[in-house]
């Protein structure tokens, strides 16, 4: 081959290389244009789907949620079934971070979770994980809620109060674990948040008093919940309750020695009172009626003062409404009628005449607010249901899930969604 022929062959090869390179560049650009001008029918969904528990995980807590993260897309469906194929009901958290079973899973049981997601074009991706739950643990923490399921209608100030046993809930991290599993749904929806009074008591309240006729569903999703120190939650509790359509409230003023009862914004009753004497003052603050007792016995020996001592007592009491755990009540006190409206002679309770006490007893409900003003001692947090003794801003600070001033379980201060 002559030199001229060789140069022509090299030039032709170079031209072919340029054309091929140009074609490859165009093909790459097409793919980067979201498929415009090309057929992307074989393109995989642009979703990176991560699921927890991991495939073949063992010793999974029965409180486990199916945690999901769909980078580049959105989860469209989560299903869960046990080894027999029996489906588990549940629902996504409002923030979309996990799917919550409606009740604890079974111990020592295999489960299969199927998670589906799609990108913005509707391209679907699916992931399946199989896992096995742990055996039933021995060291468990019990809890109770101060509401009856489908039995009572409560007053407008009724907080949702949970009390923990077996050592309570210790430290902010443990409180955050528990709080994330306390679900409240209100109808109509009202923003609310949890507040820890102590290691053994947490209260939930809305920003304002419950709206008349509110329906509540509460789930303590604690069954099998790991608490971080070798302890686990004992059981789930779910209740439904209602708020009365009538709005009642009581105000007691030490300056006037009067109790004023208001219904739907109108005064319906006023009566004289005698409050706690200087040595045993009544507490000032906004309290909530915890229980109503037609008959009971007050005994000073229950808090260390012998009944037969100078300041002791053991007395039959009628028509009593408990306001604090430490023992302050509104109740009938026929022995102090001459003092009522004039001076304070009680051991801290709100004394009223027997006929007035009967009226209060018959008119009130558990959950009605009672505000006492102008006494020598302020109500301490947690002595009774003290949720309304704090401003909304102060109350929010008691949430263990508070972040940057916004409490809640990933959904701000709106009611958390209870699994259906």
Judge if 226 and 323 occupy the same domain.
no
263 vs 212: CA distance, rounded Å: 12
Q: Which of 26, 195, 347, 349 is catalytic?
A: 349
Determine the distance from the C-alpha atom of residue 280 to the mean position of all C-alpha atoms in its chain, rounded to a whole number: 36
331 is catalytic: yes
Helices (H), 184-305: none
Judge if 254 and 162 occupy the same domain.
no
Which of 176, 211, 245 is a domain's end point? 245
Which of 245, 261, 294 is a domain's end point? 245
Residue 85 has phi, psi (to 5 degrees) of: 95, 0
Q: How high is the pLDDT of residue 44?
A: 63
- 56-95 per-position pLDDT tens digit: 999 999 999 999 999 999 999 999 999 999 999 999 999 9
Q: Which residues contact 46 (CB under 8 A, 6 or more apart)?
A: 72, 73, 119, 123
Judge if 256 and 334 occupy the same domain.
yes
Q: How high is the pLDDT of residue 151?
A: 75
Q: Of 380, 348, 384, 325, which Cα lies nearest the Cα of 273?
A: 348
Q: How high is the pLDDT of residue 90?
A: 97
Q: How does DSSP assign 130-196, residue by residue? A: EEEEPPPPS-EE-EEESS-TTT-EE-TT--EEEEE-TT---HHHHHHHHHTTEEEEEES---EEEEE
Q: How high is the pLDDT of residue 45?
A: 63
Domain limits at 257? 248-382
Q: Of 262, 275, 267, which Cα lies nearest the Cα of 374?
A: 275
126 vs 79: CA distance, rounded Å: 11
Q: How high is the pLDDT of residue 43?
A: 58
Residue 375 lies in a domain: yes
Q: What is the CATH number of the domain that holds 259?
A: 2.40.440.10
Residue 345: CB atoms within 10 A of its CB come to: 17
Residue 398 lies in a domain: no
Judge if 281 and 168 occupy the same domain.
no
Judge if 264 and 377 occupy the same domain.
yes
Residue 25 lies in a domain: no
Q: How high is the pLDDT of residue 396?
A: 97
Residue 46: CB atoms within 10 A of its CB come to: 14
Distances (CA, A) of 272 to 283, 364, 376, 377: 17, 18, 19, 20
Q: How high is the pLDDT of residue 299?
A: 80
Q: Which helix (H) or strand (E) holds 82?
A: strand 74-82
Q: Which residues contact 58 (CB under 8 A, 6 or more apart)?
A: 131, 132, 134
Q: Which of 26, 195, 331, 347 is catalytic?
A: 331
What's this model's pTM, rounded to 2 decimal places?
0.83
Residue 37 lies in a domain: no
Q: How does DSSP assign 366-395, residue by residue? A: TT-EEEEES-SEEPPTTSS--GGGS-HHHH
Q: What is the CATH number of the domain that holds 178?
A: 2.60.40.3710
Judge if 366 and 266 occupy the same domain.
yes
**Low-confidence residues of the chain: pLDDT under 50:** 1-41, 404-420
88 vs 64: CA distance, rounded Å: 12
Strands 124-133 and 57-60: parallel
Length of the chain: 420
Residue 317 lies in a domain: yes
Judge if 115 and 157 occupy the same domain.
no
Which of 229, 245, 261 is a domain's end point? 245
347 is catalytic: no
- 170-221 per-position pLDDT tens digit: 999 999 999 999 999 999 999 999 999 999 999 999 999 999 999 999 999 9
The SS3 assignment for 275 reads coil
Q: How high is the pLDDT of residue 298?
A: 87
């Amino acid at each position: 081959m002559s030199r001229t022929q060789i140069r022509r062959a090299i030039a032709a090869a170079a031209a072919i290389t340029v054309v091929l390179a140009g074609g490859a560049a165009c093909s790459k650009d097409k793919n980067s244009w979201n498929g415009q001008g090309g057929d992307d029918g074989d393109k995989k969904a642009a979703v990176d789907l991560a699921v927890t528990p991991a495939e073949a995980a063992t010793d999974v807590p029965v409180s486990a949620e199916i945690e999901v993260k769909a980078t580049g897309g959105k989860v469209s469906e989560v299903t869960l079934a046990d080894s027999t194929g029996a489906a588990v009901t549940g629902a996504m958290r409002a923030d979309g971070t996990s799917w919550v079973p409606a009740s604890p899973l079974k111990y020592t049981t295999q489960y299969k979770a199927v998670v589906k997601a799609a990108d913005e074009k509707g391209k679907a991706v699916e992931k399946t994980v199989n896992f096995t739950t742990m055996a039933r643990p021995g060291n468990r923490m019990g809890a109770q809620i101060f509401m009856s399921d489908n039995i009572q209608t409560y007053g407008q100030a009724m907080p949702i109060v949970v009390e923990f046993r077996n050592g309570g809930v210790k430290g902010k991290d443990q409180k955050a674990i528990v709080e994330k599993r306390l679900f409240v749904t209100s109808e109509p929806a009202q923003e609310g948040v949890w507040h820890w009074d102590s290691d053994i008591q947490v209260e939930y309240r809305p920003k304002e008093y419950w709206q008349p006729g509110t329906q509540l569903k509460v789930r303590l999703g604690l069954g099998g919940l790991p608490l971080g120190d070798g302890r686990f939650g004992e059981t789930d509790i779910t209740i439904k309750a209602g708020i009365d359509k009538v709005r009642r409230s009581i105000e007691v003023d030490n300056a006037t020695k009067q109790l004023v009862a208001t219904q739907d914004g109108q005064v319906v009753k006023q009566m004289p009172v005698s409050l706690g004497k200087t040595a045993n003052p009544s507490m000032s603050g906004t309290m909530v009626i915890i229980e109503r007792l037609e008959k009971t016995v007050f005994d000073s020996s229950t808090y260390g003062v012998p009944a037969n001592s100078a300041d002791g007592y053991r007395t039959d009491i009628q028509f009593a409404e408990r306001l604090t755990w430490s023992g302050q009540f509104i109740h009938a006190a026929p022995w102090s009628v001459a003092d009522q409206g004039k001076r304070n002679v009680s051991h801290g309770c709100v004394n009223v005449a027997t006929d007035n006490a009967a009226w209060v007893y018959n008119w009130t409900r558990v959950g009605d607010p009672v505000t006492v003003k102008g006494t020598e001692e302020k109500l301490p947090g947690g002595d009774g249901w003290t949720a309304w003794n704090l401003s909304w801003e102060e109350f929010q600070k008691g949430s263990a899930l508070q972040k940057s001033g916004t409490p809640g379980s990933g959904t701000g201060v709106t009611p958390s969604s209870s699994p259906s």
